[in-house]
Chains A and B, each alone.
Chain A
Amino acid sequence: MKQQRMGKQKKMALETVLYTLPALFLVALVIYIPFVLSGFYSLTKWNGIAKEPEFIGLENFINLFSGDKGFLQSLLFTGKYTLLFMIFANVLALALAVLLTKKIRSANMLRGFFFIPYIMSMTIVGFIWKFIFSQGFAKLYEMTQMEFLNLSWLGNPDLAFYSIVFVGIWQSVGFYIVLYIAGLQAVPQDVQEAAIVDGANGVQKFFRVILPLLAPSITTCIFMSLTNSLKVFDIILALTKGGPGSSTYSVTLDIYREAFQNNNYGYGAAKSLVFFVVILVLTQLVLKGFKSREVEL
């Protein structure tokens, strides 16, 4: 009897391992092993071709922090991009979501319109806008003579930055709209009515009642927009390839360039680890900050 139970327990334990091992193995194969190897290669000088990478200790990291202008510039670019993207994507999405939850008949169809860019590949979205910034704007300028259409939106470093932010937001605002709509629909009607009965006007109702109750959605959207914008890559590659000069390199694009174009695999690995730490710290801080402000009904 006892032996039988022991046998059954053993069988159960074996089964647990068998069911979970494939998933664990697959994740380890594509994520953990490369991650550990990145740690190793970050301590070496390696061009990807030589058989033996040369061990150089912390030299890559020392070089990185003691004035790698390219990396610093890309960090700054990514930081600015992230900040603007987070603010405008969220404010715009929330405003549109509020309007789309009013009792208008075409709401579902309009939501679909805003969502369509999100289901398209970001590379293609970049190309569409490249076409519009060059061909489309030129034609519109001919027609309207409005000066801003005649600016070099992808050729001037400052303007190229705003163009990338704009296209990034255009591509994904539908995603945040959909999340905010779901959040707004979950705000109970009776609470809103109670606020009106208590004499709150529309603006007060929105800022004092709806917004606080929307906090979980805001946290989700802020978190998603933060992680997505920190990793911006495809859109830039399609729009400017990092140019003009190297003014629009994001961190991810810089890592890509370092490894696959300059063949500095070791140095690239060091950059990618620093990037990992930056993302981890930023997301945890922001998540904690927003979570602590959430209120419960």
Chain B
Amino acid sequence: MIPQKNRKKYRLIAVEVIMIIVALIYIYPVYLMFMNSVKPFGEVVADVIKLPTKIEFQNYIDVVEKMHYQKLFLNNLIITSIGIVGIVVFSASTAYILDRRRTKYTKFVHLAIITPMLIPFQTIMITLLKVMSVVNLNSSTWGLGIQYWGFGIPMATFIYYNFMSTIPKEIDESATIDGASTFRTFVSVIFPLLKSVTATVVVLDVMWIWNDFLLPLLMVNSSKNTQTLVLSAYTFVGQFNTQWHYAMTAMVLAVLPSIILFIVLQKYIVEGVVAGAVKG
């Protein structure tokens, strides 16, 4: 018995070693980006693979200034926060009412709200630009944030709605008997119970809005004051496409927030992504 057990152990070790090598090769491009961002221009051009002779943050100082990084970061923060808060508030409350008051009207609304998940963004983008300029939601960060409400609500409502049916009706009935209004019941009884779904929705939508490209490109690309991180990195790399040391730094600066967030919240992010895909 023992030799067989040993064989199994060795096989596991072999699998582990191979997987580590594969993972390192896999992530090598990301490492290259980081590594070249702390090299002076001459060293990037001479040899992209060689380690820097000394780590220098001059690129970062230059690029932060050239890109107006603080402003971009703030823009991303504003757009993402406005988007997330609206999506969560409107989707959770709508899903709550849709599940608890089942009438012909709610059936219609439910269908009307989740059907747009089937409509690709590219089908509506041309006319969206026109509609948004009519209601004055184009070319501002807050306007873009509000647009994400409409784009995020279908999937978020769908996820909330599926979860609502697992919360027993008795819970809100007893709150109502105690004299709580619908609003009160939702805020202090139902919404806290939806915590895990809210986490899923927040994870999925933060990743989406923070990194989104096409919608911001159409709406807020015309002015430096409203650009997002990814947009600015896109223009920046276009302008400096031969000065790779700056391009690398701009790219690192654009993805760094997501990477830090991922390292800190890996467990929740992975869980959220799985839950969102399985329920969506």
Contacts and interface: CB of A to CB of B under 8 A. Distances in A.
A16 B101 contact: yes
A230 B120 CA distance: 10
Contacts of A41: 126-127
A102 B12 contact: yes
Contact of B97 (A20, A38, A115, A124): A20
Contact of B230 (A33, A123, A260): A123
A116 interface: yes
Interface in A14-53: 15-17, 19-20, 22-24, 26-35, 37-38, 41
Nearest to A276: B123
B154 interface: yes
A290 interface: no
A112 B23 CA distance: 9
B81 interface: no
B118 interface: yes
A132 B247 CA distance: 13
A120 B12 contact: no
Interface string A218-259: 001000100100110110011000000000000110011001
Contacts of B182: 15, 19
A96 to B, nearest CB: 8
Interface in B77-102: 86, 90-91, 93-94, 96-98, 101
B69 interface: no
Contact of B255 (A26, A30, A103, A120): A120
Interface residues of B, number: 87
Contact of A272 (B113, B126, B262): B126
A275 B123 contact: yes
B19 A99 contact: yes
A224 B113 CA distance: 20
Interface string B123-163: 11111101110010000000000110111011001000000
Interface string B1-40: 0000000000010011011101110110110110010000
Contacts of A17: 105
A16 B214 contact: no
Contacts of B120: 227, 230-231, 252, 275-276, 279
Contact of B105 (A16, A224, A255): A16
A85 interface: no
Contact of B214 (A22, A103, A233): A233
A265 B128 CA distance: 12
A179 B230 contact: no
B150 A31 contact: yes
Interface stretch (A59-67, A134-142, A149-157, A207-215): A134-142
Given A16-B101, A34-B128, A38-B123, A120 B247 contact: no
Given A28-B150, A122-B211, 14 more contacts: A19-B96, A20-B109, A24-B112, A30-B124, A31-B151, A110-B19, A115-B262, A121-B255, A255-B122, A260-B126, A268-B126, A272-B125, A276-B119, A279-B118
Listed from nearest, the 3 A-B pairs whose CB atoms lie closest are A30-B150, A121-B211, A34-B124
11 contacts: A26-B150, A30-B147, A112-B262, A120-B259, A127-B233, A127-B237, A127-B251, A128-B30, A131-B33, A131-B244, A231-B120
Interface of B: 12, 15-16, 18-20, 22-24, 26-27, 29-30, 32-33, 36, 44, 47-49, 86, 90-91, 93-94, 96-98, 101, 103, 105-106, 109, 112-113, 116, 118-128, 130-132, 135, 146-147, 149-151, 153-154, 157, 182, 207, 211, 213-214, 218, 230, 233-234, 237, 244, 247-248, 251, 254-255, 258-259, 261-263, 266, 269-270, 273-274, 277-278
